[in-house]
Chains A and B, each alone.
Chain A
């Protein structure tokens, strides 16, 4: 994985330690239903932040509170040092791209992009210049005369982006911007949007339910569930060190193994004894859930006497394309774990269903939560 761009952007963010967008104790109720429950969050200038979570988690509600489309029941939102909590939509400073793009179908691409400029009283030549500039920025320099319906989904998306950027807003809001597109276009646009955002340095918030989108595009991810923030952090941290079982389950695939602590470093998991690297700290005999990603299970290059080395039998091998997915069973225990076996390992070790092989569940990769999960 290339860590370089992430480090760069963090350096830029770090250079200014006053947050651009401050969200404090924001709660939103619809009747008796609490859509946002006391949410607090800081977003820094130039950052690309994703709100990630299942539908109904509150991510869209939070975006609508930031944009003023649905003002919060209580709490404060400050943008660039200004309290915007009660400001109507038109008095805030943001550009927005909706899932539907909401392009005006009866206006040309040019007029769509110029829509905000024209009513600001910008002179005609300047509008034309700015539109040309914006359209080449999003890679559509020669489509100005077309109507939205004549463009592909990806092109429409980029026009919507150009229109949102036309007034040089301080904040860019993206509401599930890619989910209406097919997979191939989506993957390409992920990179393009991220690249554009980086070049403009515009603070950006994206709402998405697609973890891959959030992981590839964001400086930081805000994982939300039932109106609360579960975890905020850079993608690698969210993926590698989930703070709660919810995050562990929602982002990526995960084995959840029930067990009981034996001491501060060892857990009895369904008859197998597993060691962990960091002290558990729950006390002996606590019921816990041990989490392990299927791709973290090691089958190749094992040495004797490594910790958490078990003899396991391979179950049905499911061909997924880039790898095999299977269930491993530890002999003499009730322990079953889902494992992803790389094509290389399968070929070089001659792995087939029914074979028993030595397997390591790396202690550093085991994440322990108290069971049943709290919160």
Chain B
């Protein structure tokens, strides 16, 4: 043994020859890795650099931060942002929990329609609820009296708008957490004669606790980094997200914008880290032997939750309805006859119908390019053998956008691509940069969806292919891709809808020839054309909804035919 240990064969581990497949996969990964580096990492690095430079580009250390702290108008925003985010998050999570409980743990009727309504806010830009709230509770609002003299312009309006906009995000997470509970735990608790309230505290809540915390974090970050709602309805109430916008667009103070951006990055990164840790624990929660919980009818409880969910759904529908009505009314609130006048966008500033067409082009390009790149990258990450360091770097870069608010990413894009020394400077101000920035912005969720889908596929497909001397890309095209088609379409739709509704990253990057619909909403509202802004927001909502419906029909009808192999 000792002799063998001394022989040269044992000191140097054997290395497998690199096959053509390995080579191609590594080349592909390297290209995608460089792309992620350029379009995710370097812009953020540029932002970090900008924060420690003066206007001339010299290194000034923490001077910008000191100036920030010495400006009460800016530091107040930290408190304001935290207050808004905390309040909106608690309300949104609470509402989502009640709604999710009703959906998963009661036998209330109408679950399908309630679920449908609850998801509508996902299809609208965050500007839409804010505009709608102005019509409801603003100076000329129809329900102004309901606020008992308080002004909607400020914290009240912001919180209401954010709760509307973040509610479906929290709902999805909490519904998932509540849906995957083990029915046996409830049977055991009942067999031990625990009272319902005790079961709720000892079984339901601990089981859903990670989901609730996760929802809380997601909503908190969404609110603190959202700038659509406070921009429209915030009035004089400053928050960090609007400060960035003002510093950069209003005062052209890029350094201060970068400082505020970094401060905004902080809660997002912290939430991201906590969420990652929690998710790692959550996976161990449910054993393979668990039996799904099936609710039993309790007329009183069912009716109570139906009432709660109906109220929440009504609130959503009212906000949507008001925006729709306002967009169709000739002159709110004086002339309420219906017309499409407000949809004649070419008469207003903000880019007109061209911005809507731009949005369609941008969203479709981002959806197609994004899903192709993201899915391929996830596939190569999963299947490449060896190449550990590069794979780890890409893994990190793929998740990084999850921790970077859109505003911060957009700002980084200005700093990085607006630099004439950058060889990619030529994409600045084009449609291309909008597409790339949007893909980068929404990369992580799509990446995680792809990875989940790929992990569900038999890991030996490529091995079997290789043993039959079929190159990996053939197996990818003939097997992996068709099998993953539903997940791939999910990603495409996700990217499209988000690209249609987002304002945060692209608001810094559009040019006069590449205005976008969501940005037009912002600009028309800013210019006082509130009704056309509502009309454009409705156009975005209608488009996103139409795409979703088309997707639903496609999966229902088309996939069933193309993918007959899924049926027994």
Contact = CB atoms under 8 A, between A and B. Distances in A.
A249 B466 CA distance: 38
A87 B16 CA distance: 6
Contacts of B482: 106
A246 interface: no
A88 B18 contact: yes
Given A74-B9, A149-B565, A94 B467 contact: yes
Contact of B17 (A86, A98, A105, A115): A86
Contacts of B6: none
A68 interface: yes
B478 A89 contact: no
A143 interface: no
Contact of A163 (B14, B17, B468, B565): B468
Given A87-B17, A147-B565, A102 B464 contact: yes
A73 B471 contact: no
A88 B16 contact: yes
A104 B461 contact: yes
Contact of B468 (A67, A73, A87, A116): A116
Contacts of A147: 564-565
Contact of A115 (B15, B463, B468, B563): B468
A38 B470 CA distance: 33
A120 interface: yes
Interface of B: 1, 4, 9-10, 13-22, 458, 460-461, 463-471, 474, 478-479, 482-483, 563-568
A163 B479 CA distance: 15
Contacts of A61: none
Q: Which of A25, A68, A69, A104 has the most CB of B within 10 A?
A: A104
A325 interface: no
Interface in A144-166: 147-150, 163-164, 166
B304 to A, nearest CB: 43
B565 A96 contact: no
B314 to A, nearest CB: 44
Given A38-B4, A88-B21, A91-B19, A71 B14 contact: yes
Contact of A98 (B15, B22, B460): B460
Chain B: interface secondary structure?
A: helix
A86 B458 contact: no
A84 B225 CA distance: 57
Interface of A: 25, 27, 29, 38, 67-69, 71-75, 85-92, 94-96, 98, 100, 102, 104-108, 115-116, 119-120, 147-150, 163-164, 166-167, 169
Given A98-B463, A104-B461, 13 more contacts: A74-B9, A75-B14, A88-B21, A88-B22, A89-B466, A102-B464, A107-B479, A107-B565, A115-B464, A115-B470, A149-B566, A163-B468, A169-B467
What 10 pairs across the A-B complex have the smallest Cβ distances?
Answer: A116-B468, A88-B19, A102-B460, A147-B565, A89-B466, A71-B16, A106-B482, A90-B466, A119-B470, A104-B479
Contacts of B470: 115-116, 119
Contacts of A108: 565
Nearest to B458: A102
Contact of B21 (A25, A38, A71, A90): A90
Nearest to A29: B13
A69 B383 CA distance: 12
B562 to A, nearest CB: 9
A229 B465 CA distance: 31
Contact of A73 (B13, B465, B563): B13
Given A67-B467, A75-B9, A100-B458, A90 B19 contact: yes
Contacts of B564: 147
Nearest to B481: A106
B215 to A, nearest CB: 34
B261 to A, nearest CB: 42
B469 A96 contact: no
